[in-house]
Amino acid sequence: MSACHDCNDCPSGGVVELSSGVPVKTVAVVGPPNSGKTTLFNRLTGLRQKVANFPGVTVEQHTGVVELPDGRALNLIDLPGIYSLAPRSEDEQVAYDVLHGRRADTPKPEAVLLLLDSTNLARHLMLAAPILALNVPTLIILNMADDLRNRGGHLDLRALAAQLGAPVALVSARSGEGIDQIFDFLAGTMAKPKPMELPILQDVPKCREWAGTVGSRAAYRAPLPPKWTRRLDGVFLHPVFGPLIFLGVVACVFETIFIAGGPVTDWMQGLFDKSGLWLETMLPASIFTSLLLEGVWRGVGSVVKFLPQVLLLFLFIGILEDSGYLARAALIADRTMAKVGLQGKSFIPLLSAYACAVPAIMATRTIENKRDRIATILIAPFMTCSARFPVYTLIIPAFLPNRGILGPFTQAAALLGLYVLGFVVAIATARILKSSILKSGRTPFLLEMPAYRWPTVQSLGLRLIDRSKVFLYRAGTVILLALVVLWVAAHVPTQNGHAPKIEDSLAGTMGRTIEPAIKPLGFNWKIGIGLLTSLAARETIIGTLGEIYGMDPESQKMDMQKALHSDLTPGGAVALLIFFAFAMQCFSTIAVVRRETGGWKWPALQFTYMSVLAYVGAFIAFHVIR
């Protein structure tokens, strides 16, 4: 093997050079799972990134723009985490196709950033051989430089670069150490060693042997095991304290969201109410002002006010995930989940589903076993998501005073009961699915335990911004549209140029048309209109009832909770709560299930199952309680 010590003038034998001066258009980031790809991608692109799916497959596509110090801009694609380039899983297939320029939707990358974990170099180097064999200019980035140093590891970068025939940079994506070298590479100003002919190895043991040899020739000394991770695991995986801490963490997450989130939500509501009144005085009274205030402002406000609470939940999940605790939680949860036929990895999506089923369903991608994954997707919408929360907190206090045996905790207990109900039905459903249509073969359960790390403010911040965008986008599109359509339907056909009485309007007619079907559940036509609009998104029912009550002279003066009393018996209220606990009223969830399962079969089955369950559950509740 030849060594090349002055690499500035090395010939480029066969390797396509980054021609300096001409901007590289697309650069791919490749690396095994847990190599810190997301952290690096966030550091390089910051806010200039977007998440989508590769068309036709369920693999997530992160793209972003990197701005070089000289002002040029590059497109960066973050490819899925892979251990090898052998295209077996969907993730590997996408990575393989993109790198070979075989996807019509993605240009062939003109350079590759290969990210490896320097604390586990020998194993991660296995991916270097197939990537370098692509003959695309590649920078090998060894991440976690700080960990390697602190734990007494060592490496001769120059020797490694010579061994691999590619430039090597030792960085810490978390702290930003060494990131300049990546910019140098992208700008085409980085020194390159002489290219090497690398062996093409399909066989894993041979590949590992090669990686080990390369590592030892580069004087690689593996770092000591992470001391703090061992110590923390001694506590978090302790036979007694481990499960207690686990339960404590889950309880703490919910407690904080409800206790701290409640006042913020009330404050947001006040903000929308006040600004609505202010707008009313500022704008001339007209049909459009009425649309703006009743349809748009109040309706969208009734959803947007929950943003702080949703973000709080995502913040918690982000901290748990980025710190590495979630992998331990999955380990502890595995045996319990196995009892209903699922596995520990289902725990993470199911916990996220308490915020929103959409990101939860996307998070099922970490489950390799396809049947386990589909079962998790199918039960995730039963978890009490943040859209059900406002519906519950509207109806419970309206019908259940804080009196009786439980005193001031009555309403909280009822709310908790609904959470438990959703969970129990989810578990029962999983059991049925896993012992029938989704009975799985034996795919081994493998869970890599990452070292504990401090979550970075940047990565948590980007996560929250991303979630806010999704949430506000929904409020501004699906929910807004549903409420505007409702407003129009409630104002036609006009009678002598005036809006009709609500029961004579188009919306009223539709409500009365479905009334016979929902009467057995204790719902009248007004609730019926709410059920129709909440098909788009659950929380829309609040804006809808607000609009209807606002138009009806009888209920205009009452607050919503009083007005509800004229439409629902206590039995009807319980039926409505149960209906919302079970029904799949969410366009976004249906869309994401279709996308993730690759067709209409599963979302159709899921929608039918949940609707039937909701109807039967509400029917029983109404007839038992009245």
Partner 1 sequence: MLQLSGNSGTVEAPLATLVDLHKGDAGILDRIDLPGDDARRLMELGFLPGARVTAGLSAPGGDPRVFQVDGSEIALRRETARKLKVRVEKRKAPRTK
Residues that bind partner 1 (CB under 8 A): 83-84, 86, 88, 119-120, 122-123, 126, 204-205, 208, 222, 224-225, 233-234, 237, 239, 242-243, 331-332, 334-335, 338, 344, 368, 442-449
Burial of 536 (0-12, 13-18, 19+ CB in 10 A): buried
Residue 189 tokens read as: 């100003």
Q: How far is the CB of 327 from partner 1 (least distance, A)?
A: 8
- Is the Cβ of residue 233 or residue 294 nearer to partner 1 in the bound state? 233
Query: Smallest distance from the beta carbon of 348 to partner 1, in angstroms?
Result: 14
CB-nearer residue toward partner 1: 50 or 206: 206
Which residue, 32 or 188, is less far from partner 1 as judged by CB?
32
CA–centroid distance for 274 within its chain: 33
Going by C-alpha positions, the residue among 145, 135, 49 that lies closest to residue 99 is 135
CB of 338 or CB of 506, closer to partner 1 = 338
- Give 124 or 192: the residue with its C-beta nearer to partner 1: 124
Q: Find out whether the peptide bond into 493 is cis, omega within 30 degrees of 0.
A: yes
Beta strand pairing status for 73-78 and 26-30? parallel
Nearer to partner 1, 144 or 462 (CB): 144
Identity of the residue numbered 498:
H
Least Å distance, CB 266 to partner 1, is 40
Least separation in angstroms between residue 179's CB and partner 1 is: 24
CA atoms within 13 A on the CB side of 136: 23
In what helix (H) or strand (E) does residue 392 lie, and over which residues does it extend? helix 388-399
- DSSP-derived letter for residue 291 is I
| 8 A C-beta contact, residue 584 and residue 391 | no
CB of 123 or CB of 594, closer to partner 1 = 123
Is the distance from CB of 32 to CB of 146 less than 8 angstroms? no
The nearest distance, CB 83 to partner 1, in angstroms, is 4
Nearer to partner 1, 53 or 323 (CB): 323
Residues β-bridged to residue 67: 73
CB of 234 to partner 1, least distance (A): 7
Please give the Cα distance from 77 to 98 (Å, whole number). Answer: 10
Q: Give CB contacts under 8 A, 24+ apart, made by 332-335.
A: 332/237, 332/242, 332/243, 332/246, 333/246, 334/445, 334/447
* Structure tokens that stand for 224 in this block: 């000591």
Q: Are the beta carbons of 477 and 470 closer than 8 angstroms? A: no
Residue with Cβ nearer partner 1 (71 or 205): 205
The overall longest dimension of the chain from CA atoms, in Å, is 93
The secondary structure of residue 356, as a DSSP letter, is -
